[in-house]
Structure formats: C-alpha cells, structure tokens
Chains A and B, each alone.
Chain A
Amino acid sequence: MDPLFLQHTSDGILTGAIIALGAIGVTLSMTILRFANFGHSELVTFGAYIALVFVSFSGIGAQPIDPFSIGWPFFAAIAAAGVGTALLALATDWLIFRRLRRSNAARLTFIFASFGAALILRNLIMLGFGASPEYYSRELTMAILIPPGIRVMPDQILVLGLTLVLVVALWAFLTFTRAGLAMRAVAESPTLSSVSGIDVNSVTRWTWILSGGLAAMAGVFFGLTVQLRPEMGFNLLLPLFAAAILGGAGSVFGAVVGGLIVGLAENLSVIWISPGYKMAIPFLLMLVLLYLRPHGLFGRGER
C-alpha cells in the first residue's frame, strides 16, 4: 500500500485518539448535564498547562526514559493535570452552572454561559503564559520506522497506549460500577433516577470530574505530541463536537469511533486536497452522516 497513505493513517489515528478523549467529555455533558458545553475546550488547554507548570517545577534532574522525550515526573504531571482540571471543572459548575440549574435557566443560557467561561479561561492562560508555543521537553527523540515506511515517534505510541487504557477503564467504570450505572441512569431520566435513590447532584459532580479529567488527558497528549498554545483547546472545539455528534450524543463508544473518524478524515484528506481545507472534512462527513442517520452512528433517537 502507498506509504504516504499509511503515514497519514497512522497520524490520523493518533489525532483521532486525542479527539476521542475530549469528545467523551463532550458527549457526557450533552447527555448528563444536558447542554453543549463550549467551555470544554478550555479544560483541554488548562490540563495541558497544569502539566507544563508541574513539569517545569519538577523537571530538573529528570532524565528522559529512553526512547521517550519525557521522564518519570511526567506521569505525576499527567495525574496533577487530571486532578487540577477536574477541580477546575467542579469550580465552574459551582460558580456558574449550579446557579443556572437552580434558577431553571433555559438551555441556551447554559450554552452562552459556557462560551463566556471559555473566553475567561482562555484569556487567563494567555495572561499567564503568553501567546507563544510551549513544549514539555526539548529532548530530541528518534522516530521509529515501521515497514513499509511509516514514521512514528515513541511519544506517539505512548499516547496511543495511555488513551487505550483510559478508554477501557472508562468503559469498565460505566459498565460494572454502581456510580457508572448511575451516570447512565441519569443520562436517560433524572426523575426516575432520583426516585430510584440516585443523588442526581452527586452524579452531576462526578460527570464534571470525569469529563474534566479526560479533557486534561487530551490536552496533555496534544501538548506532548504537538505543542502547547493558549488556543489549542479552542482549535480542537469543533472537531470534538463533530466527533461527539458523529458517534451519537450519549455514546462513549460512539465518541471514540467519532474521534477516530474525524482524526482520519482530517489527516487523509491532505493527500488529495490542500491542507487548508482539512478542518472542513469532518463537517462534510458529519452532514452526510446526519442526513443518513439523524442520531449519529451509535445514538438513539427517542428517550
């Protein structure tokens, strides 16, 4: 097979995995919190920068683990980013969305409030770190050559592996644990959930924690394999929503498949058309798919 095609496929899978992590959070908030959270992209950015702060404090003396560009402290940084971003997500809920829920605000109000929160968060990052790109590590690493000619960076393989672990862990959580089942129950019917003894407020908090944590992972992985910029999350926002909608709102599996489709479509399209148009490809796909399947690949219509 054409090596160029294979190279773009491998890049697409990596981009897709990162998009999938972010899209899971989007799909969870669409069905459990019941609004399109446009602030989700800034959780991605915050996660990436929290890890950067952690790395720059602990990075001294940290030897990279061959063949990766990062050392052991980086794994602590990933954990810190997850926890910090989950707390930030909880704080935005406490400050903004909890109040809107109490006053029974319209869904559009939630969406606009999330836009506002996104603007504030993005500009805070800009204020703190400036607009120029940052990197976790300036170590040079050697690409691994996979026959017949695909080049993959060791960091990329690490990111793919970690993403796989996270997705499987999330699937197990939603399938086997009571808390995970409670999240799926609230996604279907908050009223029936509450008369079944499920504290909907507590499920709401767990949803923020999970989607914040996963957004942070997406941000850190993007930062590691590309670079950190204050608008990195914002640039991912539309692909995240495209992936979530493609997969079908509410379906975690759908978000993963949607993420991979968006990542592959963006990367493979450059073989045939100018890279300037690659952002548009996922939307073209989304339009076609929604025409054929209005509820996405794995979504269900009625509730």
Chain B
Amino acid sequence: MSAPVLTISNLVAGYVPDVPIVRGASLNVIPGSILTVLGPNGAGKSTLVKAIAGLVPVTSGTVMLDGKDVTSTPAHAVAGLGIGYVPQTENVFTTLSVVDNLKVSGSPSASDTRMAIERMFVLFPDLAERRRHLGRELSGGQRQMLAFARALMRSPRVLMPDEPSAGLSPKMVGIVFEKLQELAATGVAVLMVEQNAKAALRASDRGLVLVEGKERLEGPARQLLDDPRLGELYLGKIDEAA
C-alpha cells in the first residue's frame, strides 16, 4: 500500500467557536483509492470535508497534503494546492456555460486551462456535447459530472465529493460511482461523504463511520458491508462507551 496523500489528525472544527462539530477525527486517504465516510445525520461528515476544503474554521488538529501542512489555508488556496472539493448542492455555476464553468475553475495559466478543459471533455463526453449550455440547463446527472469536472480542473491529488448520489436516479447513481472508480484508477485519491451506504461501499476501497464528529469504525469496504455494527452505529445502538 502506498503512502497516504491526505492525512487528517485529531481534527476539531465547527462553524462557531466552542461548538465543535468535528471532534478529533483522524483518517488517511491513499492515492488511487476511494475512502467513503458514512454516518448518521448530523455526525459531522459534511463539516469534516468542508473543514479540509478550508470552508469551516479548524480549532485544532492538522490537515497534511503530501506531507505539507495545509490546515486553516483559505479555500481558494486549498483548491490551488490540489484538493478538489465538490459541494453537495450549488456545485456548478448555473449562470455560466459548461465551458466557462471549467475555464473559471482552471489554473491561472491559460494554456494549462485549455488543456485541462480538453481532458475533461474526453473524460465526460456528455459535457463536450453541451459545452455552450448554461449550468442551469443541465440534467441532474450532467450537473454532477460538471461538478466533478470543475473540481478536477486543477488536477487535484484528492477529490472530495459530498454526497454525489443525492437526488439522482438509481441508474445515474451507478454511473456516478463508476466514474469515481475510473478517476481513482488514474491515481486520484477520493474522499467521499455518502448517505447511500450500501451503494457507496460497493464502489469504495475503504469505509469509515463517523459518529458525533469522530471515527468509530474503519475498514475495507467489503468487510464493512457485512459488519452488523454498521447498521447499529447508524441507528445509534452502540453507545458512547463502546
């Protein structure tokens, strides 16, 4: 197993000082693999990835990207350093065309951006066909693909989709997860937050259950799928002391 590209240690984070939502979470993401963060509502899954992305203040703990400390770096700089965050909602610019969505998310170098856009159109042929369409004119699935493409424009080392399957048809969910596996196969590390535990674990290499802002269970995805504790953690049957 290769060395982790993203290492989170004892991360404490929350929107308001003194009200931590992420409470000492730790995890590692390996290049070319998918780690899915599961957990009941309000466990702090989204807050965790937002804190990594630089959107939520971090009180303590560290975020290391490739051995470099990027804790509390402003969001726009985190994106430039190689962490591509895909928000759950409002994840494409609805008033910009597909190609402008990609252009505005590219690096400051115009030639790099041009090449990255061409790469995205190879990766997502649907988007190439609709390059002049506005973000708001896309279907749910196309929109999710544009959201991925937008986050991939800077060739990130880590892609962090927040509930990529939310609001999609079962068929589209399958396509989205396949796309993530395809991306991971190119060496990108994927740190995904999901509610759709079964479908997500089937597509993942590892899974992690977050409860009350801290990881409670971690392991290979196949093993977690059969682990009875998974369901119990979701239902809150395992108490704090366990």
Contact = CB atoms under 8 A, between A and B. Distances in A.
A199 B110 CA distance: 17
B110 A195 contact: no
B53 interface: yes
Contact of B74 (A181, A184, A194, A196): A194
Given A195-B79, A196-B150, A197-B79, A178 B108 contact: yes
Contacts of B103: 178, 181
Interface string A135-179: 000000000000000000000000000000000000000000010
A145 to B, nearest CB: 45
B9 interface: no
Contact of A195 (B87, B96, B100, B108): B87
Interface residues of A, number: 19
Contact of B93 (A178, A185, A194): A185
B55 A185 contact: no
B84 to A, nearest CB: 8
B91 interface: yes
B94 interface: yes
Interface residues of B, number: 31
Would you call the interface of chain B mostly helix, strand, loop, or mixed? loop
B76 A191 contact: no
B226 interface: no
Please classify the interface of chain A as helix (H, G, I), strand (E, B), loop, or mixed, using the class held by over half of its residues. Answer: helix
A196 B55 contact: no
B100 A197 contact: no
B55 A178 contact: no
A173 to B, nearest CB: 14
B90 interface: yes
Interface in B72-121: 74-76, 78-80, 85, 87, 90-96, 100, 103-108, 110, 113
B45 interface: no
B157 interface: no
A189 B93 contact: yes
Interface in B28-86: 53-55, 74-76, 78-80, 85
B154 interface: yes
A196 B95 contact: no
A199 B105 CA distance: 11
Contacts of A185: 93, 96, 104
A106 B154 CA distance: 35
B80 A192 contact: no
B95 A188 contact: yes
Interface in A250-268: none
A177 to B, nearest CB: 10
A185 B55 CA distance: 17
B76 A198 contact: yes
Given A178-B110, A189-B90, A192-B87, A197 B95 contact: no
Contacts of A188: 93-96
B96 A181 contact: yes
A196 B104 contact: yes
A300 B75 contact: no
A187 B100 CA distance: 14
Interface in A42-101: none
A178 B104 CA distance: 6
A70 to B, nearest CB: 39
Nearest to A203: B76
10 A-B pairs with least C-beta separation: A197-B79, A194-B75, A196-B105, A181-B104, A194-B76, A199-B76, A195-B85, A185-B104, A197-B80, A188-B95
Interface of B: 53-55, 74-76, 78-80, 85, 87, 90-96, 100, 103-108, 110, 113, 150-151, 153-154
Given A182-B104, A199-B76, 16 more contacts: A178-B108, A181-B100, A181-B103, A184-B96, A188-B93, A191-B55, A191-B87, A192-B92, A194-B74, A195-B75, A195-B151, A197-B76, A197-B79, A197-B105, A197-B107, A200-B76
21 contacts: A178-B103, A181-B103, A184-B95, A184-B100, A185-B93, A185-B96, A188-B94, A188-B96, A189-B93, A192-B91, A192-B92, A194-B55, A194-B74, A195-B76, A195-B78, A195-B79, A195-B151, A196-B104, A197-B107, A198-B105, A300-B95
